[in-house]
Structure 1
Amino acid sequence: MSPDGDSPAAAAPKAWARLAELRGPGVPPKALDARALAALAANPGCDRRAVLDGAGVNKAGLASALGSPSAFGQSQFAFARGNAFEARVKADGGAELLTLVHRALDPGAEPPTGAAVPDLTAAGPEGRTARTALALREATEAGGWTLLDHPMLALEVAGAPAFLEPDAVVVHPDGRWTVVEIKSFPMLDGSADPAKVGAAARQAAVYVLALEGVAARLDPAPRVGHRVLLVCPKDFSNLPTGSAVDIRKQRAVTARQLRRLTRLDEIAATLPPDTCFAPDLPAERLTAAVEAVPAAYAPECLSACELAFHCRAQARESGAVTALGRPLRAELGALTDIDTVLATSRGEDGDPGDPTVRALRRAARLRAEALAEGAACR
């Protein structure tokens, strides 16, 4: 039952209506993709990102309206280059892509010669999700190689469904399902930028979780591969090459973090009734709406969230320790603002028996001694 005494089925329309109110009348929702979900899972304590993404708010537009435009995102050139490379990989019915899957993940199977490529078109994301599930079941029962080009998957996030669109899913002759991630960054001498590979692995882990939900509804449940295929340009050419990436760790972490997310309806229930993030509202009202939702800023947000500059300015203004990074925040324990940390290091505040307080004061003494020695040497 919901807090209002409604059944889940009756409460769902209310929750969706509330999220639509937060987005603004007539404002279409922005789809929540796997990249955003991976970033959200990496910071599950940020209610602000959870409710904005869940309500489908365009955070880039919101950041601009707040006066803190974000440079986060992919350039048009990179976007066009990525689309051209993906088309190159999937040409001729995905023959080259399937060859890469066979070589990297399933060399013992019969080589793909004439794979099926089912039509996945349908009305709306719900229709495409159902069509994808049907195509996966039919491909598993039929055997042989099947390529699903841009299937649609659904994953429940904080009590609301998110519709996801991986680059491709391949069904092997033995019925196994494999996620394929196609990226335009190069693979030089068989290896790519570890940071970019890690981001791709976290994104693929979201797709694997959604795919496991589809598999669980079939009897017997097909196996979803814990190794995904990462396809990138080889060296400095436009020729595709593939590498198997084990995403078991990323999958486990992402699943755990998504479970930790507070339900969107619970967050929305704590907000003032007139809270709205419509981009045409005055900046003062938007600022008040954004600040009504607690955030958990960290420097890592700068590369993953459009509102990062606004949240950073807010964190700095309040003197929050999180603005200095999660590792330091973890070391300081109950000391959550910079003024308190500085006062503690000077001996003006804090319990002398606290190990964190002792460490801060010792660090302050060592710093003072080092500065005194440096001044004497000059």
Structure 2
Amino acid sequence: MNTSPQHPTDPRLDRLRGAAAPRRHNARTIAALTTNPGCARRAVLDTAGVDKDALARHVGFPAPFGQSQFAITRGNAFEAQLKADGCAELLQLLRETLGLDLAEAAYTDLEDVGGVDTQEVRHRHSVQKLTHAADDSGTLFDHPLLRLPVAGEHVYLEPDLVAFAHEGVFHVVEIKSFAVIDGQADPDKVAAAAIQSAVYVLALRRLLGRDDVVSPDVVLVCPADFSNRPVATKVDVRKQLIILEHQLRRLTRVEALLDLLPPGLTLDLEPDERGHPTRSTAELTAALGTLDARYAPGCLSSCELGFFCRDEAGGRTDALGTSVREQLGGVETVAEALAIADGTWDVPDEQAEAAARLRASAPVYADALTGRAPAPTAVPALSVVPALPPAAPLPVVAP
């Protein structure tokens, strides 16, 4: 990957990051950008290449990220099984899912470039093969190396596989080791796989220079039930593509966010002779607090600073979830919401709708605590704790 500084024309990003080399993006970190596009803190830190994991550990809020070794080993074994003998087992799935004619299918491994394994050489080789793939209808391209510009940096990406199906349309194939049990999969894991696949779709579209030759329907392959028997389904990632492109454009306009920061702000983690950051925890916490955050509960599973931001958001309506924050319409703290509900807060005109909902909810809540039936109300009550959506079944196509 290109290790040149990001946004070299703006020294504020280098100063913010400090002496450390910029952290490199990959498909997972790019996908994570879509989970909370309104967070200025994350936009600035990711553009500067700040090591958010090291920062979170130093301020006392480490994030328990990462897969277990067992999950990694199982995933590698499942992928190897699918790709054995020229992707024979995977081809059986694609024949049903994409209408691929096995009689015309071929397999090309783009990882082998005559013993030269530099990313630039592999990327050029992938570009050459993929841009001339129209003459090889029905070819499966394994280990292509794509490239996507992110905040001034070329990020190299390697999807599990790209299938060139009939009618001249590419499909990205994403292989995951989480199970589909009785036709259903964990909706959070499916959503994460869809976002990551959208990163590959966007990179492939940029490589080919056309959107219409890369399908927004990616093929997700998972093990069925408690076995290694694979099942596949098409997942539409058009929504994820829109969000992803918006957030990438936002990163390229980070200068407007930097203009709002104090001059000379830095989050430098330069270590002393013992390997500990020279700056105190209190100093770094204060510096981090100058970056505007937009915490939501989903940040805990997608951002290294999620636990820090949750602690920082204590007592604020942000901590109750995105839907509550939007319904409350500018009511920033739980104390303010309670004061509005009991009528002891002078409500400005722009919060009138939220105030009406809160005041209608107050007697309903009080009646629930005392066990009385709530009195009818014409104003819809605000649900302070958003309900969890039911797990939607994931349609699958068995081999």
Q: What TM-score comes out, normalization by structure 1 length?
A: 0.82
Preserved CA contact (<8 Å) 1:186 1:232: yes
Letter of the structure 1 residue corresponding to residue 228 of structure 2: N
Shift of the 68–128 alpha-carbon distance from structure 1 to 2, 3 Å rule, reads same
Taking structure 1 as reference, are residues 312 and 241 closer, same or farther at Cα in structure 2, changes over 3 Å only? Answer: same
Secondary structure, in 3 states, of the residue corresponding to 2:109? coil
1:291 partner letter? G
Residue aligned with 1:115, SS: strand
Q: Secondary structure at the match of 1:90?
A: helix
**Alignment partner for residue 264 of structure 1, among 228, 231, 254?**
254
Cα distance in 1 between the residues matched to 2:172 and 2:48: 27
Tell me if 1:273 matches 2:259.
Answer: no
Residue of structure 2 equivalent to 1:193: 186
Whole-angstrom distance in 2 between the partners of 1:100 and 1:65: 47
Return the letter of the residue paired with 2:68.
S
Which residue is equivalent to 2:141? 148
d(CA) in 1 for partners of 2:44, 2:181 = 40
Following superposition, the deviation at residue 79 of structure 1 comes to 1.8
Instruction: Using the TM superposition, name which of 364-373 and 180-189 deviates more.
Output: 364-373
1:338 and 2:334 equivalent? yes
Which residue identity is paired with 2:323?
A: P
Give yes or no for contact 1:175–1:223 (8 Å, CA) kept in 2. Answer: yes
Distance 1:70 1:362 in 2: 39
Aligned with 1:362 (options 354, 360, 363): 360
For residues 333 and 231 of structure 1, what CA distance do their matches in structure 2 show?
A: 41
CA deviation after TM superposition for structure 1 residue 277, in Å: 4.0
Residue of structure 2 in register with 1:310 after alignment: 308
Shift of 1:125: 4.6
Look up the match of 2:214.
224
Aligned to 1:132: 126
Question: How much has 1:12 moved relative to structure 2?
Answer: 4.3
Matched pairs, number: 355
TM-score scaled by length of structure 2: 0.78
Note closer, same or farther for the CA distance 1:159–1:69 as it changes in structure 2 (3 Å cut). Answer: same
What is the Cα deviation at residue 285 of structure 1? Answer: 3.2
**Aligned CA distance change for structure 1 residues 137 and 314 (closer, same or farther; 3 Å):** same
Q: 1:250 aligns with which of 240, 257, 262?
A: 240
CA 1:166–1:28: 2 relative to 1, 3 Å: farther
Q: CA separation in 1, counterparts of 2:112 and 2:259? A: 37
Q: Is the 8 A contact 1:33 1:165 kept in 2?
A: no
Where does residue 109 of structure 2 map in the other structure? 117
Separation (CA, whole Å) in 2 of partners of 1:325 and 1:64: 24
SS of the residue 1:301 aligns to:
helix
Query: Helix, strand or coil: the match of 2:168?
Result: coil
Report the CA distance shift for 1:242/1:370 in structure 2 as closer, same or farther (over 3 A): closer
Where do residues 73-92 of structure 1 align in structure 2 (5 Å cutoff)? 73-92=66-85
**2:163 aligned with 1:170, yes or no?**
yes
Amino acid paired to 2:8: P
Distance 1:105 1:366 in 2: 52
Which structure is higher in helix share? 1
Structure 1 alignment gaps of length 5 or more: 1-10
Displacement of 1:258 in angstroms is 4.2
SS at match of 1:334: coil
1:233 to 204, 207, 223: 223
1:6 match? none
Q: Secondary structure at the match of 2:313?
A: helix
1:93 aligns with 2:83: no
Q: CA deviation at 1:192?
A: 2.5
Asked whether the equivalents of residues 15 and 264 of structure 2 are also in contact (C-alpha less than 8 Å), the reply is no
CA distance in 2, matches of 1:337, 1:262: 32
- 2:322 maps to which residue? 326
Q: 2:105, 2:139 within 8 Å by CA — same for their partners in 1?
A: no
Distance change (3 Å), C-alpha of 1:118 and 1:72: closer
Distance 1:135 1:22, change over 3 A: farther
Counterpart CA distance in 1 for 2:79 and 2:371 is: 60
Contact kept? 1:72, 1:305, Cα under 8 Å: no
Conservation of the 8 A alpha-carbon contact between 2:97 and 2:234: yes
1:22 to 16, 28, 36: 16
CA–CA distance in 2 between the matches of 1:239 and 1:370? 49
3-state SS of 2:110 partner: coil
| Gap change, CA 1:289 and 1:165, over 3 Å in 2 | farther
AA of the residue aligned to 1:111: A
Q: Percent identity among equivalent residues?
A: 45
- Answer whether contact 2:217 2:237 (CA < 8 A) is retained: yes
Following the alignment from structure 2 to structure 1, what is the Cα–Cα distance between the partners of residues 138 and 355? 62
**2:44 matches 1:51:** yes
Counterparts in 2 of 1:39 and 1:350: CA distance versus 1, 3 Å: farther
Please say if residues 54 and 264 of structure 1, whose CA atoms lie closer than 8 Å, have aligned partners that are also in contact.
yes
* Per-residue deviation, 1:328: 0.7
Show structure 2 runs of 5+ residues with no match: 1-5, 272-276, 373-399
Among 8, 11, 22, the alignment partner of 1:13 is 8
- The offset of 1:298, in angstroms, is 0.5
How far apart are the structure 2 equivalents of 1:77 and 1:261? 35
